[in-house]
Structure 1
């Protein structure tokens, strides 16, 4: 039985070309119409090269989205929690739009039907970003910007839930002013209880 390919032996120039090609083609064609053949042709590599490093187009796009998400969706800490969340959510919205050709949206849709991709998406992209979100909120708690007893799981749902609700039902993602309003209401939920 052959040993699995060693990802450390990947040619970095080819890897980058493949990941870039997958994102470019998603933006042009949409995830559903993306093929390994098209990625290979755009990247100037063989299909065999792609399949040696990734088992499917979902795995290729997952790595490409992970690379992009790592650089654009970090949680800033300027000392202003609402402004920092607005900045971070704006970056997330950028990854999700336009929904018809977003590689991230394509992955989310594909993951609904592919358990392995769903697991990889959750473990590689979603959970690490949830951990970063919670760490930013813990810092806000230490800074007195958020009550010490705030439930960070509920905060996650209140802040990110509306984006995905609007995405799934084609309601349009919020613009800058709507996003500020959404955040103000979500953060107000963690204020002192009404008397």
Structure 2
């Protein structure tokens, strides 16, 4: 199994990139998220997921490990293949996908072209517990202070026994209404509303 590929970008389209690594051009399928991150770059590093079928060996590439982890979770759902997972990642950001799954927002997932109600529900049901676990194990939380603040407060509330989705909503409300504050203050305000 390949972990990543690093080299010069020979070709870039919204659906694939050709990466020249060691004199060999690798055809790598990408999402629009990855495409937007690669635009204008000449040297790239893509985290890979390889799919071997009877008729093809396919590489899917991602600019960060977190996007690859979401891709792997999506393809683990019955009825969601690599093309559908890539379409979901092209339509929604990784944060939007995680939020939709944890808050059971089936309608947001259903808005992706080709995703019906049953598939969207299956994604939510199958991944609800895995997304929060995946997020913690991958620990690829964005480095903005607001996300760090939110993640610390969310972890504390979950450890106190509150449901992750309920705590997440309350923290978002508090941050929206009151703005930045120390973690302790955010937790106290969230506890009053839970």
Report the structure, 1 or 2, having the larger helix content.
Answer: 1
Report the structure, 1 or 2, having the larger strand content.
Answer: 2
TM-score, reference length from structure 1: 0.32
| Higher RCO structure, 1 or 2 (CA under 8 Å, sep 6+) | 1
TM-score, reference length from structure 2: 0.32
